[in-house]
Amino acid sequence: MGLKDFRIVFDNQWNTYYPGQTVTGNIVIVLNSTKKIRGISVKIKGEANTCWTTDKQEMDERGQYRDETQTVTAHEEYFETKYYLIGSASGGEIEIQSGEHKFPFTCSLPTNLPSSFESDFGYVRYIVKATLDRPWKFDQDVKSPFTVIAPFDLNQEPRAAEPVRQEMTKTFCCLCCGTPSLTVNFALPVRGYVPGQSMPIKINVENLSNVVVNSIKLMLCKIVTFRATTPRTDTKTEEIVVTEVSKGPVEGGGTADYEQHLDIPPLPPSNLVNCNIIDLEYNLKVEACVEGWYHQNLSVNTLIFVGTIPLATYHAPSAPPAETTGDYSTKPPEAGFVIPSANTTLPPLPESNLYPNLPPPSFEESLIGARNLHERGESEYVYGLSNRFAPRYPVYNFAHVQ
């Protein structure tokens, strides 16, 4: 049809917005000859979907059980806006000259949206889709996703500022006799962090047993629970190790006392508030990996909050500090926000007026993106389907407070 280019360009170069903000941009069409169309429409929507397959046993007409694979799904729609930029579905033909044409669009986002989220078994996704309505021919579509971030202020979550101190202990059986115990203590100054911060984890190992501890693993885990409603209710839980560090060994009769750091990468904030079919939380998993296949590892999980607004009374520096002593069972160290050199044209945080010294974040892509932007019943010839999409989340770069 002479359509040389068809794309969506957002006015916000990061394609990232907060609930309640206005999404604006242009539908760009480049033609190499004059064409007739009925109109150009745009649809902006937000939705969540879950989908996975399950194996179940069904009884047939002969009373025998057989295995059956079933696909279960759920769907939530948050908003949908559709209108014509030029023309209409029932109007006459419009002639568009060759060359480049831009058609501006705008949409005000609702205030109660969940954050963008992508996974193998479900997603929360926001899409702009434009349609070239062509008389007597198949319509031509282009689509482009954008990120929505529901702010999670860690200062409004009382548990985020709690210090963490836990102990786990284990004895091992050897020739029907119990050995002295292995004890692992770990401590954190707070439970709440934002991407760009580093979790400083103090580890103390007292291995009175004769079993070698090969390593102490520290893992930040993302725990996602998906819900399905059709054709039946079901749930599925996925645990993903986001990042990990380890250190060892600790010989039998040995001790170790050290601090390690887990850097928080770009991640969606905890909870996925306002989404009813996907739940999200983060855990710190501490695991003592012991020698010998007949000995079980010692491990424990503790709740961690990942937010978009950091705690005002605490932040960990981007680079690990010098070795420290003491524990985190007391009040977290006082700290203030230090403004580094940064691009202040980033979209402002809704809470920025509450924390005037909060350094502006950058918006960086998640390591997990959409595998496919194709929707059921949609043509495979939609512009933009092959583009990779990963949501962007705020990442902070704090200057260290001496």
What the block records as the tokens of 179 is 């050995």
Lowest mean pLDDT among 186-190, 265-269, 352-356, 394-398: 352-356
Cα 134 to chain centroid distance, Å, stands at 38
Domains and CATH numbers, the chain: 3-151+366-393 (2.60.40.640), 154-362 (2.60.40.640)
What the block records as the tokens of 398 is 């704090």
What mean pLDDT do residues 59-72 have? Answer: 78
Which residues face 363 on adjacent strands? 394
The residues, ordered by sequence, that sit 6+ positions from 76 with a Cβ below 8 Å of its Cβ are 47, 48, 49, 275, 276, 277
**How confident is the model at residue 67, as a pLDDT?**
74
What the block records as the tokens of 257 is 């006392």
Which residues face 187 on adjacent strands? 165, 202
Res. 400: pLDDT tops 70: no
**How confident is the model at residue 60, as a pLDDT?**
67
320 membership: H or E segment, kind and range: none
Residue with structure tokens 């885990």?
Answer: 221
pLDDT digits (tens, 9 = 90+) for 225-245: 999 999 999 999 999 999 999
Q: How far apart are CA 242 and CA 367, in angstroms?
A: 9
Whole-model pTM: value is 0.88
**How confident is the model at residue 328, as a pLDDT?**
55
pLDDT digits (tens, 9 = 90+) for 120-170: 999 999 999 999 988 877 889 999 999 999 999 999 999 999 999 999 998
Lowest mean pLDDT among 42-56, 70-84, 181-195, 350-364: 350-364
Nearest alpha-carbon partner for 243 in 198, 205, 297? 198
Helix (H), strand (E), coil (C) string for 105-170: EEEECCCCCCCCEECCCEEEEEEEEEEEECCCCCCEEEEEEEEECCCCEHHHCHHHHCCEEEEEEE
Q: How far apart are CA 394 and CA 360, in angstroms?
A: 9
The backbone torsions φ and ψ at residue 272, rounded to the nearest 5 degrees and listed phi first, read 50, 55
How wide is the angle at C-alpha 334 spanned by C-alphas 332 and 337, nearest 5°?
120
**How confident is the model at residue 85, as a pLDDT?**
96
Q: How far apart are CA 78 and CA 81, in angstroms?
A: 11
